[in-house]
Structure 1
């Protein structure tokens, strides 16, 4: 007899454990991650440390942006199970990076690459393999305004660089120069123009004037691609190879290669350029740009030993001397052309290339490689890139204003300079949280915005009129979840459009759980001739748990009723077992025993309609009688 009792207790405990995990799964699937985490953690404490529970716990915290807690549970799962779904390895890497554990992240990244050698993220973690062209042609979540600048001429204009409210650029507009036969336009000169800044608009550029460098009188030499040191006293630029007599120098094939020159400012005048020592007569060196601290110069060259047609190099600046140029390597350079590098104030490297997957010809790319040697290269997408050549990107990383050059079809000349300002493409989602029964507004309700991955991205509270407002990215699918103590959650699907500033409406109607002196939930279903608590029943009973937690002094009684089918005595016993089972579930969730006065089954003795013994009724009519009631006896809060 004692053995039988112990077996019964163990079986009941196991049943609750199994049910609890399934209930947690239901809450998880409905984005109630806090409740799900509570149930999963309780499941772990009771002995279930399955891969499913551990990784779900990680997901609960991951989706709530709690990287520290997510890392703990993912880490336990990865330590305990050797063949965890690689998706959790990827998430674990992300959480480790988030909390600054870069060495741990790198270790697991190596394992991820080993397992997922055919996964694109194993090579480019920040790129997606899904609809890649489509993603490049649409800037999801970003509102980028671009403008063809008024100063563009009918000739080539490109290569903007900004210093002290002046924009420097190259142009072929000087018709007094000789014609460059390659494109039948005049040779390039350098220019400067004034900038009039607009806070939330693309800056206005006006009064372009030739940039005068002492000693320059060359109408058949290109000069372009400018960068200036932070103190404003040194200028690096690209020029055709010339000798001391200002004559172009050609190699054996008749080609005049490019070189980088340095000019210093004295008494407000730029001195004639001095050739840098790592130039050469048999290959080109050009497109200079500086690191934010001005201690490194980056440039482009087709010199021997490179990886492709043109590569990006770096060289240390040591006062008036320079180190040995170093190729940036395969993380940046390809078999194609890498050109027009620019390093922003935040050390992000931007460049153009035709060696990566692109929309067409030269595209603009970016990478944080200079700060993180493992960082990958990202295509900037439209509108920066088009089917034409897009290059010479410049941005102020503080204001997200900048310029790029392109020979796209809508331009004024061969190449044009486009100004841009990048702002998040945002929309509003708003509505009213109401009591579904009374249609009155519910103040202080919690409203969550949940993205397609299930991550909670914003949480707000409704005001005194039940109104709420959320900020969402454009072109996204969301769920809006409304919650309030003593109410059932309500969830709405919302899809934002691609137009910044639009508003999407999503009213939330929360069903009250307390109706007069009763806690009202959806019907609790039991299997035929059974009284154990199923997962779907436990999910509904969690509403009872929530109400009683919100009202710590509340005392209830439980009633269980059946319909008239079956014998009276059988229904009485079955309903009583179901009432007791319901009571035990609430105890298992921490509800004190003294708060449930009784749990009694009444069988078919309290029918709510005419469907008594011998009366023919529909299934729906009989269902009205199969019910559980949770009657409030006391609520002294």
Structure 2
């Protein structure tokens, strides 16, 4: 199912301060500076609706979502030899259900969203958060429903802090708008009930697709139809104040936001590049192009 359709028509979708010091991602050429480029055209960004990007912990694989024929699936491209290979659908995504929004947790598990039923009695056609764990030789365990963060509503687009706290979007009741951003703490190995991030981030319209910096000092997200937006949906950010509250959110600006729909924010594990989705493709730009107060919170490896 196309994510844009899910978000707009159905209204049901969407490194700590010490990044990976031993990570060396083989980025393709040409590489962007202050102008966003399409990421891996013909491999990740093709003729389909391709969105979001997430690197594996070792930087040799990149996972993304692809929508075709009304179903979304998760694909992966591997860096082998001296180039990124044509993508393949991951094994757990082969089936009649839609899967999307892959991202790695600090413990190495791969989280994603799926509209598969949570059990044999589940008849709700909504998206929940699931995860798989590596099982050796590129294989994965069977998907597990992360029940503590899910509800009878839709949950989607996951992001993790370095300590394992989980940020997500949901259209569950009680929010400030149709979809809001929430956070669930990892305590004693289990997730707590998600808490709404509040009105500094969540507006009366619709917020989704959160990316949190590893130390939880900033969050980047998509907001729909705000007064200062450049297009249908723009990327915004909020930083955490000294009193541990979120500052009023601000637009990321015209170096990133377009007249179309901008979503799926993600910063590479080495802190060098900012990824987002726009115009049916995955885009990337140097993190140096981000606003100053946000840029200074990102630690880059050399």
Aligned to 1:401: 273
Higher Cα Rg, which structure: 1
Gap change, CA 1:319 and 1:235, over 3 Å in 2: farther
Deviation at 1:381, TM superposition (A): 1.2
Among 237, 245, 256, which residue is 1:373 paired with? 245
- Structural mapping, 1:203-218, within 5 Å: 205-213=84-92, 217-218=94-95
TM-score, structure 2 as length reference: 0.73
Deviation at 1:419, TM superposition (A): 2.1
Q: Does 1:289 align with 2:159?
A: yes
Judging by fraction of residues, say which structure has more strand. 2
Aligned to 1:349: 219
Among 272, 282, 302, which residue is 1:417 paired with? 282
Deviation at 1:212, TM superposition (A): 2.0
CA offsets per residue over residues 276-302 of structure 1, 9 Å max, x none? 224233x111111111221x1111111
| Distance in structure 1 (CA, Å) of the matches to 2:136 and 2:272 | 33
Deviation at 1:188, TM superposition (A): 0.9
Which structure 2 residue ranges, 5 or more long, are not aligned? 1-32, 291-302
Aligned to 2:234: 363
Q: Is the 8 A contact 1:156 1:416 kept in 2?
A: yes
Aligned to 1:156: 49
RMSD of Structure 2 on Structure 1 (CA): 2.8
Gap change, CA 1:286 and 1:370, over 3 Å in 2: farther
- Structural mapping, 1:615-626, within 5 Å: none
Deviation at 1:156, TM superposition (A): 0.7
Gap change, CA 1:398 and 1:190, over 3 Å in 2: closer
Q: Is the 8 A contact 2:161 2:215 kept in 1?
A: no
TM-score, structure 1 as length reference: 0.36
Q: Secondary structure at the match of 1:287?
A: strand
Structure with the bigger RCO (C-alpha within 8 Å, sep 6+) is 2
Deviation at 1:217, TM superposition (A): 4.3
| Distance in structure 1 (CA, Å) of the matches to 2:34 and 2:136 | 40
Gap change, CA 1:231 and 1:280, over 3 Å in 2: closer
Gap change, CA 1:422 and 1:206, over 3 Å in 2: farther
Gap change, CA 1:312 and 1:370, over 3 Å in 2: farther
Aligned to 2:145: 275
| Distance in structure 2 (CA, Å) of the matches to 1:236 and 1:157 | 18
CA offsets per residue over residues 348-396 of structure 1, 9 Å max, x none? 2111001532111110112213874152312111231111100101113
Deviation at 1:397, TM superposition (A): 7.5
- Structural mapping, 1:322-337, within 5 Å: 322-337=191-206
Aligned to 1:222: 98
- Structural mapping, 1:229-628, within 5 Å: 229-232=105-108, 234-244=109-119, 249-251=122-124, 256-268=125-137, 269-277=139-147, 278-281=149-152, 283-294=153-164, 296-345=165-214, 347=216, 348-354=218-224, 356=226, 357-369=228-240, 372-396=244-268, 399-407=271-279, 415-423=280-288
CA offsets per residue over residues 557-606 of structure 1, 9 Å max, x none? xxxxxxxxxxxxxxxxxxxxxxxxxxxxxxxxxxxxxxxxxxxxxxxxxx
Judging by fraction of residues, say which structure has more helix. 1
Q: Is the 8 A contact 2:232 2:259 kept in 1?
A: yes
Gap change, CA 1:418 and 1:191, over 3 Å in 2: same
Q: How many residues align?
A: 248
Among 75, 100, 104, which residue is 1:191 paired with? 75
| Distance in structure 2 (CA, Å) of the matches to 1:217 and 1:290 | 25
Which structure 1 residue ranges, 5 or more long, are not aligned? 1-142, 174-178, 181-186, 199-203, 408-414, 426-637
Q: Secondary structure at the match of 1:242?
A: coil
Deviation at 1:230, TM superposition (A): 2.5
Q: Is the 8 A contact 1:346 1:397 kept in 2?
A: no
Aligned to 1:463: none
